[in-house]
Amino acid sequence: MERVLITGITGQDGSYLAESYLTGNYEVHGVVRRSSSTNRPRIDHLFNLDSLPGEQRIKLHYADMNDLSALLRVIDEVQPQFIVNLAAQSHVGVSFRTPLETASVTGLGALALFESVRILDPGIRIYQAGSSEMFGGMLGRKVLNEASSFYPRSPYAASKVFAHNLATLYRDAYHLFISNGILFNHESPRRGENFVSRKITLAAARIKLGRQKVLKLGNTKSKRDWGHSKDYCRAIRMILSSDMPDDYVVATGKIHSVTDFLDHAFGYLNLDWKEYVEIDPQLLRPNEVDDLIGDYSKIESQLGWKPEISFENLVYEMVDHDLRLLESHE
């Protein structure tokens, strides 16, 4: 039975990826930080859901991403065939307030992981999670692909560029199997509540139920290439299973504004978002990235991947989930 080690397993992508691997013939291991709380709502069901095959094949390991000795210990214990590095401080706005933590986890953490694999077992296949934020906006370009230059506009994006370049360096210098996935925005009902997509769907549900009156947002004109986390986790597995390591943009090729997200989320509940949304200048970022759209033709032609869940269905699924969530806590 092959083993996969997932850093950031308690996050949105980590939970879907663990779920996906557990439905196959894999043993899943996750890296988590030790804390006073053991409540991990996105993955708790993986330990006790009878209907999910292989729920006993998951194990968590305590380690900090910038603790080389801890990573060496975990990798030596697990001896995985695959490592998926999703660990990061991934909120762009927060990265301006905690730039050192962001750089430490998102950037130096990746370096510690690559170095651990180089020392212990160069045969391990690694997936490094990149981000469309590395591109820093359109800057006159129509779409962004693997050949597009990076222009990071936040500490988060700069840290991801650092990790991306290190992945390429370790691949070339030490012949490690490291693939970079440059993922554009992807959402789901498991998205953190501090991200704009989930903030919108939760607010729409609360307003529909009479529990909230105002939604404060920053830049509603920003445009993003929004996909579903499940689609993108499917891409991650395909990238890790490919014959050769490479870099891939994972996107939908379609762009929608925050306003479009509001239209669909509130409209789905027969609400007019303009009656409830207020612009809060404090929520604006020092450097705004206005437009991001990706070209996924490389991963489609080489690996056969393409998105399956539409933007509209993504938004509706998130709204439905948040309505059920709120109603269950009445």
Cβ neighbours around 48 below 10 Å, total: 9
Q: Are 10 and 32 in contact (CB under 8 A)?
A: yes
**Catalytic (active site) residue 131:** yes
pLDDT of residue 14: 96
205 shares a domain with 137 = no
37 shares a domain with 151 = yes
29 shares a domain with 52 = yes
161 domain residue, yes or no: yes
100 shares a domain with 13 = yes
CA angle 231, 188, 191 (to 5 degrees): 125
Domain that residue 316 falls in: 196-223+255-290+310-328
**Catalytic (active site) residue 278:** no
Residue among 133, 222, 229, 296 flagged as catalytic: 133
pLDDT of residue 212: 96
- Across 50-138, the runs of DSSP E, i.e. the strands, are 58-62, 82-85, 125-131
304 domain residue, yes or no: no
Q: Are 18 and 9 in contact (CB under 8 A)?
A: yes
Residue among 156, 248, 268, 296 flagged as catalytic: 156
150 shares a domain with 282 = no
* b/e per residue 178-216 (b: at least 16 CB within 10 A): bbbbbbbbbbbbbbeeebbbbbbbbbbbbbbeeeeeebe
* DSSP three-state, residue 223: strand
Q: Are 225 and 252 in contact (CB under 8 A)?
A: yes
**Catalytic (active site) residue 156:** yes
**Nearest to residue 297, comparing CAs of 145, 132, 134?**
145
Residue among 90, 131, 154, 229 flagged as catalytic: 131
pLDDT of residue 241: 96
21 shares a domain with 152 = yes
Q: Residue 65: which residues within 8 A CB-CB, separation 6 or more?
A: 7, 31, 71, 87, 104, 105, 108, 109, 110, 112, 113
Kindly give the confidence (pLDDT) of every residue in the chain, 330 residues in length, as a single tens digit, with 9 standing for 90 and above.
Answer: 899 999 999 999 999 999 999 988 899 999 998 764 566 888 888 876 454 554 457 899 999 999 999 999 999 999 999 999 999 988 888 999 999 999 999 999 999 999 999 999 999 999 999 999 999 876 667 799 999 999 999 999 999 999 999 999 999 999 999 999 999 999 999 999 989 999 999 999 999 999 999 999 988 888 899 999 999 999 999 999 999 999 999 999 999 999 999 999 999 999 999 999 999 888 877 766 768 899 999 999 999 999 999 999 999 999 999 999 999 986
pLDDT of residue 284: 77
Number of structural domains found in the chain: 2
121 domain residue, yes or no: yes
pLDDT of residue 45: 81
Q: Residue 314: which residues within 8 A CB-CB, separation 6 or more?
A: 187, 188, 226, 227, 228
Q: How far is CA 200 from CA 95, 112, 214, 316, in A?
A: 21, 36, 11, 12
Tokens 């590395």, located at residue: 134
- Residue positions counted in the chain: 330
Nearest-angstrom CA–CA distance, 229 and 211: 28
CATH of the domain at 271: 3.90.25.10
142 domain residue, yes or no: yes
